[in-house]
């Protein structure tokens, strides 16, 4: 009898690796579709809660209102970008209307030169809009934004200056800046000035040389002397210490070098991305659910605050890195880790309840604990990279 059941089971394919893979695929497909439906509902609420001509950053639960910022805040493009991801998956016309409205709000940023984050602001928003609609006016705005961002390039250090000189730093370049290279490189590839891609490559090479430790972890800030082309100090602004591995900084680094490999196929960028991924995934302080503490060297681990935004960024980056690495073992490891992160973020441990959290999707992000700012709150960029990870998983692995 047992032998007959075994034969029947094998005949039907039940319990086979193929059947299990199909089951996993079906579960992820259902999860992703449900998350985008949930996102559409939440973001209609978020749009309603957000004051005119401002962009949502977080939710002030104690006040019952949105923490909204002006359009020159570095995160101003993530709301529109998230709406475009949601529209792409749901075709909800109300979401489309909000996405277009959010674009109009931040459009003046295309000529803004006082911020290194034009990529976040204008490519995550108008870049997604152009990819989905093909409207030439969106492409024109991205081109002008790249021109504005390029004004912050400093030839003496072959880098884009992140923040203006201030009482703390002379010429700070932060690891986050890797993310803004995507817009510059894309514009050159789309017929814009080739110098933008050259700037991106030079910035990536300088960062590769100066930002990283032997274990592939990254400093947050390198402060330069522009005249002497020397490093004044290696420091942090948002991490636990100058020598620590601030989690979101490691996420920016992983995503940035994976993206630069996409554009250049330069193997040193792929090697760097692989090294950063292994630093993150093999770190003894990475929790079982793979959503990092706010700093890999944070005090009070395992009681330290988590950073869902770092988890979302890492998940999205690992999905892309999976496509480039030649190692079958690494492919499996990166995909498994990204899937674990997505499932964790989609669980009740991190996901808002419908109608709550001001309309944001995720809870438990940490903006700058060292500055006592945005601790254990929703953050707009956590939602953005979570939606991107969901879309990437659906497009590439289902």
CB 339 within 8 A of CB 318: no
Using one digit for the tens of pLDDT, what is the confidence trace for 68-100?
Answer: 999 999 999 999 999 999 999 999 999 999 999
Bridge partner residues of 70 (DSSP): none
Inside any domain, residue 143: no
User: Angle at Cα 27 formed by Cα 24 and Cα 28, nearest 5°?
Assistant: 85
Chain position carrying tokens 């809009």:
129
Is residue 1 very low, low, confident or very high in pLDDT (cuts 50, 70, 90)? Answer: low
Q: Which pLDDT score, from 0 to 100, does residue 9 have?
A: 44
* 59/68 Cα distance (integer angstroms): 9
Q: How many structural domains comprise the chain?
A: 1
CA 265, 339, 334, 252 dihedral sign is positive
Q: Which pLDDT score, from 0 to 100, does residue 143 have?
A: 98
What proportion of the chain, given as a percentage, has pLDDT over 90? Answer: 94
User: What would you measure as the largest C-alpha separation in the chain, in angstroms?
Assistant: 84
Inside any domain, residue 349: yes
Inside any domain, residue 100: no
* 244/232 Cα distance (integer angstroms): 18
Inside any domain, residue 341: yes
Bridge partner residues of 230 (DSSP): 225
Q: Which pLDDT score, from 0 to 100, does residue 243 have?
A: 97
102: nearest Cα among 135, 134, 69? 69
* 360/288 Cα distance (integer angstroms): 25
**pLDDT above 90: residue 361:** yes
Q: Which pLDDT score, from 0 to 100, does residue 188 have?
A: 98
Kindly report the number of other CB atoms within 10 A of residue 278's CB atom. Answer: 15
Strands (E), 25-69: 55-60, 65-69
Inside any domain, residue 124: no
DSSP code per residue over 345-390 = HHSTTTBPPTT-GGG-SB--EEEEGGGTEEEEE--HHHHHHHHHHH
Average confidence (pLDDT) over 176-184: 98
Asked if 33 is an active-site residue, the reply is no
* 68/49 Cα distance (integer angstroms): 10
Domain that holds residue 354: 19-49+245-398
Chain position carrying tokens 């700058």:
368
What's the DSSP call for residue 57? E
CB 172 within 8 A of CB 222: yes
Q: Which pLDDT score, from 0 to 100, does residue 98 have?
A: 98
Inside any domain, residue 215: no
Q: Which pLDDT score, from 0 to 100, does residue 16 have?
A: 78
Across the chain, what does the average pLDDT equal? Answer: 95
Copy the structure tokens of residue 201: 């490559």
Which candidate in 70, 140, 176, 225 is catalytic? 176
Copy the structure tokens of residue 28: 């992820």
- CATH number of the domain within which 355 lies: 1.50.10.10
Q: Which pLDDT score, from 0 to 100, does residue 15 have?
A: 63
* 58/375 Cα distance (integer angstroms): 10
Inside any domain, residue 386: yes
What proportion of the chain, given as a percentage, has pLDDT over 70? Answer: 96
**pLDDT above 70: residue 61:** yes
Asked if 176 is an active-site residue, the reply is yes
**pLDDT above 60: residue 38:** yes
Using one digit for the tens of pLDDT, what is the confidence trace for 323-348?
Answer: 999 999 999 999 999 999 999 999 99
φ, ψ at 317 (rounded to 5°): -65, -40
Using one digit for the tens of pLDDT, what is the confidence trace for 97-132?
Answer: 999 999 999 999 999 999 899 999 999 999 999 999
Inside any domain, residue 216: no
**pLDDT above 50: residue 140:** yes
* 120/149 Cα distance (integer angstroms): 11
Which candidate in 117, 295, 297, 383 is catalytic? 117
Half-sphere exposure of 285 (CA within 13 A, CB side): 20
Average confidence (pLDDT) over 276-297: 98
Q: Which pLDDT score, from 0 to 100, does residue 238 have?
A: 97
């Amino acid at each position: 009898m047992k032998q007959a059941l075994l034969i029947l089971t094998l005949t039907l394919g039940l319990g086979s690796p193929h059947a299990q893979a199909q089951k996993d695929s079906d579960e992820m497909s259902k999860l992703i579709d449900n998350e985008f439906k949930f996102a559409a509902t939440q973001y209609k609420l978020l749009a309603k809660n957000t004051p005119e001509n401002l962009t949502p950053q977080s939710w002030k639960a104690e006040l019952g209102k949105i923490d909204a910022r002006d359009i020159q805040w570095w995160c101003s493009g993530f709301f529109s970008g998230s709406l475009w991801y949601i529209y792409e998956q749901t075709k909800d016309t109300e979401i489309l209307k909000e996405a277009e409205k959010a674009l109009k709000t931040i459009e003046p940023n295309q000529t803004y030169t006082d911020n290194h984050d034009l990529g976040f602001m204008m490519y995550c928003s108008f870049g997604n809009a152009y990819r989905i609609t093909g409207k030439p006016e969106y492409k024109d705005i991205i081109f002008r934004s790249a021109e504005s961002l390029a004004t912050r390039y400093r030839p003496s250090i072959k880098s884009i200056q992140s923040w203006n000189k201030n009482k703390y730093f002379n010429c700070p370049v932060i690891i986050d800046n890797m993310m803004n290279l995507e817009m510059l490189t894309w514009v050159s590839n789309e017929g814009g000035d080739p110098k933008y891609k050259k700037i991106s490559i030079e910035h990536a090479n300088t960062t590769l040389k100066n930002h990283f430790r032997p274990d592939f972890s990254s400093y947050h800030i390198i402060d330069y002397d522009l005249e002497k082309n020397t490093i004044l100090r290696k420091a942090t602004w948002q991490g636990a210490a100058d020598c620590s591995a601030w989690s979101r900084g490691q996420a920016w680094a992983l995503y940035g070098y994976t993206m630069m490999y996409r554009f250049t196929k330069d193997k040193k960028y792929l090697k760097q991305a692989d090294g950063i991924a292994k630093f993150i995934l093999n770190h003894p302080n990475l929790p079982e659910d793979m959503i990092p503490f706010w700093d890999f060297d944070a005090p009070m681990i395992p009681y330290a605050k988590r950073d869902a935004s770092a988890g979302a960024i890492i998940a999205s980056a690992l999905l892309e890195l999976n496509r480039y690495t030649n190692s079958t073992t690494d492919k499996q490891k990166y995909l498994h880790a990204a899937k674990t992160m997505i499932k964790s973020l989609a669980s009740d441990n991190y996901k808002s309840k419908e109608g709550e959290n001001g309309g944001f999707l995720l809870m438990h992000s940490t903006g700058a604990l060292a500055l006592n700012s945005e601790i254990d709150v929703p953050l707009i960029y956590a939602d953005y990279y979570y939606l991107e990870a969901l879309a990437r998983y659906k497009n590439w692995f289902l």
